[in-house]
Amino acid sequence: MIENIKQQILDYKKEIIIGSFAALLIIIFVILNNKPTPVRSNVFTDNAKSKKVFKKANVVKSSKYIYVDIQGEVNRPGFYRIKATARVFDLLQLAGGLKDTADRKNVNQAKKITDQEQVYIPKIGEITDPPLIKENMDQDSDEKTEQVNINAATVDELQNLPGVGPKKAEKIVQYREENGGFEKPDDLTKVSGFGEKTLETLKDQITI
């Protein structure tokens, strides 16, 4: 009888321990799941983005238009507000187009204009200094090749001419020593190795 009572007491204690442990686990689980989750603030990020967008919008807005002055042979010369992407052609439309007296050959209508620029359209025959709005034209056409004096140039200098190597340069020097020099550029054809086609190529680059 006593043994049965002891066993019942032990079983009861076990139930209490197991129940307490289970209750503790439940309490811990509830606490962990009910812990408030920190809310991430996007105020700084949103403000930074807003400032960036605002700044970009202001840049676009401020650079959308430019101001230019056009004078000379146009129907309505003056000061104009125009899109930043405009070219001389667009500006001429605002100014009423070119007059009949305008020197069209000196106007590069494809040129992109810049803020605060003055565009001047000259009359036919008028000399402008510097030449009118031609800065975007090919500058190579304005460059002149330095001419070589075939009566005075050394062998090395003569080799600056296209197609003239050491042997041909020596023949030029030999000819002028034997004949007292060249009387005219065409006399170069008297030198062995220089024909009419070669002379045609070199005529703008040689002198006497």
DSSP structure string for 28-85: HHHHHHTSPPPPPP-HHHHHHHHHHHHHHHHHHHHTSEEEEEEEESBSS-EEEEEETT
Residue 135 near residue 151 (C-beta atoms within 8 A): no
Q: For 28-64, how does the pLDDT look when each residue is reduced to its tens digit (9 = 90+)? A: 877 777 655 544 444 444 555 555 544 555 544 446 8
Average pLDDT over residues 172-186: 90
What domains appear along the chain, each with residue ranges and CATH number?
Answer: 65-137 (3.10.20), 148-207 (1.10.150.320)
How, if at all, do strands 148-149 and 118-121 pair? unpaired
Which of 22 and 60 is assigned the larger pLDDT? 22
Task: Please tell me the predicted confidence (pLDDT) of residue 39.
Answer: 46
Does the pLDDT of residue 113 top 70, yes or no?
Answer: yes
Task: Please tell me the predicted confidence (pLDDT) of residue 181.
Answer: 87
Does the pLDDT of residue 68 top 90, yes or no?
Answer: yes
Does the pLDDT of residue 89 top 70, yes or no?
Answer: yes
Task: Please tell me the predicted confidence (pLDDT) of residue 128.
Answer: 63
Task: Please tell me the predicted confidence (pLDDT) of residue 60.
Answer: 44
Percent of the chain surpassing pLDDT 90? 30
